[in-house]
Structure 1
């Protein structure tokens, strides 16, 4: 049931324009803090959230943002919310997961048998829908785990090379001004190498191989080229980009800190200015042409970050304030 009070939640909005195939996963949820006409598109921001789940987990979906929203809509974040026009959380089609313990995928299910770049293209379509139907102009991308991976693939064009239009350089379909990246996977070959025996048991290593093969196919030669560390993040490719906040927890039991470190090296190579922690005077983000990379430590396990939501809400509130 759609709420008519505010904040208002509009669930399961179909963003695909395909007439020959109805996808239950090409949907998004929207939350509006106030009537949309009360938010000036030029001076307010949208938050667009991309969930994780190793490209395949049916139990992680658009509702993974709800713990963050519960924190964000609290009184302590009221000042940041004044500058937020809306929050959207996207579903996207998934890769196979036939061994899932409670909801295994069927090979006949078109929503759960896709590979890269379909996931990223679904996200691009969802954002284009928001820009067309909700007038989204300025936005911040928030991604957890493979959601962080896909946001970087999106802004760098990995998987969208043959699209007729881009979300990153086209002024009518602007890319995000900032990204908040949480526990992401940025170098796929490194992820696989770091989970080989004897570093971890063979059965765990097989899980990593399975979800990577499911998402990107069996040809290991392509894994480096689709990894975000291989992308371009310059002003020509991503004209709106001003701020990246890349976050990791020492307690993450699934994705190692080396993923964050190699992504920082890649961004430094692309001209981003690395600032380990934001200080009171660290608003150089507002300077014309300035591209700032903040590196942040989080607390808690891999999924706890989104299950609790408090740390994400604080990061969102901070980034909104810095951009406005």
Structure 2
């Protein structure tokens, strides 16, 4: 990477200021966390700063409005300072400088939202409730336990057109809403690459990166484990793939559902076919290839860096790979057998993938619900309750799952 490219990345990062995330001290409810709009925040009203946020950070030069991400970091991980206010009755907390990049060790969580690749109402902000829960947990318990969290990212990506929200829609402008495959996954890889260029992780630190996706975001999360050459994209050189992927109410076999809908979900077939064709075109072979549970064996690609690179240390750490599949049986939009197909696919191909990557036996260090292990990969099945979007709308269940995952690393 040239010095000019590094300067460009830093300028994009610094273009958005840090904003405090506040909440009352002690136990809280989901609605108690707020994002203040000022560049500094006083703690004299009884609330405390539990973290810092940057919103809509562009990850590409000349980015559209959707080629951006939100980021949250715990308050304890920054170099913010406290100064007496002019009135002397409160304390003004001065945020980190806009160009300040979080330092130190810790797990980074990257979230990919759902919305069927096209719904402009679902965006990076869908992770806000979960981020608030996690920041409060860390703030309230940092003296008692060490939660190794570096930060959390919620990534936007360009969307395909939506028939109900034309480009001239007053609330949802058309900028970035004309995408076709592979634009969505290209943006995801670009955003992750931008983050990693700033944080500069090495393959030996891959355990510090967790990729999480909800609904079609889960599809994208698993696609990000594959080599980008599958999509006709140039390799994102040096991209460190995560050791853990979490799919929540995910879509894994689109072609299979459209061909033979799950019993009780037959009425959704036409809707599925429309949004899948809108995102990926009319070719059914493409539908099979983009589905992580219906594509050919891609698991060996998870074990390598982009471009086929693999370090000796990376070979040793292949046994650390974990896939966490989360699904609600009360979900009326995505049937539970989507999880089952993804689980069965992973377990079927795990031994072959591990052998191809010269891995040893699994280390069995997880403690998740419904854990199954094959050489090179641990698969965890977690059943949750609630409707399709409830897990991110409330955020508490997802926060508990992610805190558990972070504790494994």
TM-score, scaled to structure 2: 0.66
- Give unpaired runs (5+ residues) of structure 1: none
- Give unpaired runs (5+ residues) of structure 2: 1-16, 21-48, 79-99, 203-207, 305-317, 352-361
Separation in structure 2 between the aligned mates of residue 279 and residue 30 of structure 1, nearest angstrom: 27
1:115 aligns with one of 174, 180, 188: 180
- Post-superposition Cα deviations, 1:44-84, rounded to whole Å, max 9, x if no partner, equal 21000000000001011111101111211223784677311
For residues 283-302 of structure 1, the aligned pairs below 5 Å read 290-302=376-388
TM-aligned CA distance change 1:104 to 1:293, over 3 Å: farther
Structure 1 equivalent of residue 86 of structure 2: none
**Correspondence 1:191 to 2:232:** no
TM-aligned CA distance change 1:66 to 1:38, over 3 Å: closer
**Correspondence 1:264 to 2:353:** no
From the CA coordinates, give the structure whose radius of gyration is larger.
Answer: 2
| Other structure's SS at 1:113 match | coil
Structure 1 equivalent of residue 116 of structure 2: 54
For residues 34-113 of structure 1, the aligned pairs below 5 Å read 34-35=77-78, 39-41=103-105, 44-75=106-137, 78=141, 82-100=147-165, 109=174, 111-113=176-178
Structure 2 equivalent of residue 322 of structure 1: 408
Shift of 1:140: 0.2
Separation in structure 1 between the aligned mates of residue 401 and residue 186 of structure 2, nearest angstrom: 26
TM-aligned CA distance change 1:37 to 1:6, over 3 Å: farther
Shift of 1:85: 0.8
| Other structure's SS at 1:87 match | strand
Shift of 1:110: 5.4
| Other structure's SS at 2:340 match | helix
**Correspondence 1:132 to 2:197:** yes
TM-aligned CA distance change 1:101 to 1:304, over 3 Å: farther
The worse-fitting range, judged by mean Cα deviation, of 115-124 and 218-227 is 218-227
Q: Which has the higher contact order (CA 8 A, sep 6+)?
A: 1
| Other structure's SS at 1:88 match | strand
Separation in structure 2 between the aligned mates of residue 200 and residue 10 of structure 1, nearest angstrom: 42
Say if 2:133 and 2:399, in contact at 8 Å, map to a contact too: yes
- Post-superposition Cα deviations, 1:293-317, rounded to whole Å, max 9, x if no partner, equal 1011011000111111111111111
For residues 157-172 of structure 1, the aligned pairs below 5 Å read 157=227, 160-166=230-236, 172=238
Separation in structure 1 between the aligned mates of residue 55 and residue 372 of structure 2, nearest angstrom: 35
| Other structure's SS at 2:152 match | strand
1:147 aligns with one of 217, 237, 247: 217
Structure 2 equivalent of residue 226 of structure 1: 290
TM-aligned CA distance change 1:146 to 1:81, over 3 Å: farther
Shift of 1:37: 7.1
Say if 1:159 and 1:226, in contact at 8 Å, map to a contact too: no
TM-score, scaled to structure 1: 0.82
How big is the alpha-carbon RMSD for the aligned residues of Structure 1 and Structure 2? 3.3
Structure 2 equivalent of residue 312 of structure 1: 398
Separation in structure 2 between the aligned mates of residue 160 and residue 279 of structure 1, nearest angstrom: 31
Structure 1 equivalent of residue 330 of structure 2: 251
Separation in structure 2 between the aligned mates of residue 38 and residue 60 of structure 1, nearest angstrom: 27
Say if 2:112 and 2:156, in contact at 8 Å, map to a contact too: yes
Separation in structure 2 between the aligned mates of residue 322 and residue 129 of structure 1, nearest angstrom: 26
- Post-superposition Cα deviations, 1:101-129, rounded to whole Å, max 9, x if no partner, equal 99859xx9451111111100100000010
Say if 2:334 and 2:388, in contact at 8 Å, map to a contact too: yes
Say if 1:49 and 1:141, in contact at 8 Å, map to a contact too: yes
- Post-superposition Cα deviations, 1:25-49, rounded to whole Å, max 9, x if no partner, equal 10011111122777434xx210000
Say if 1:61 and 1:91, in contact at 8 Å, map to a contact too: yes
Shift of 1:130: 0.3
Separation in structure 2 between the aligned mates of residue 250 and residue 9 of structure 1, nearest angstrom: 34
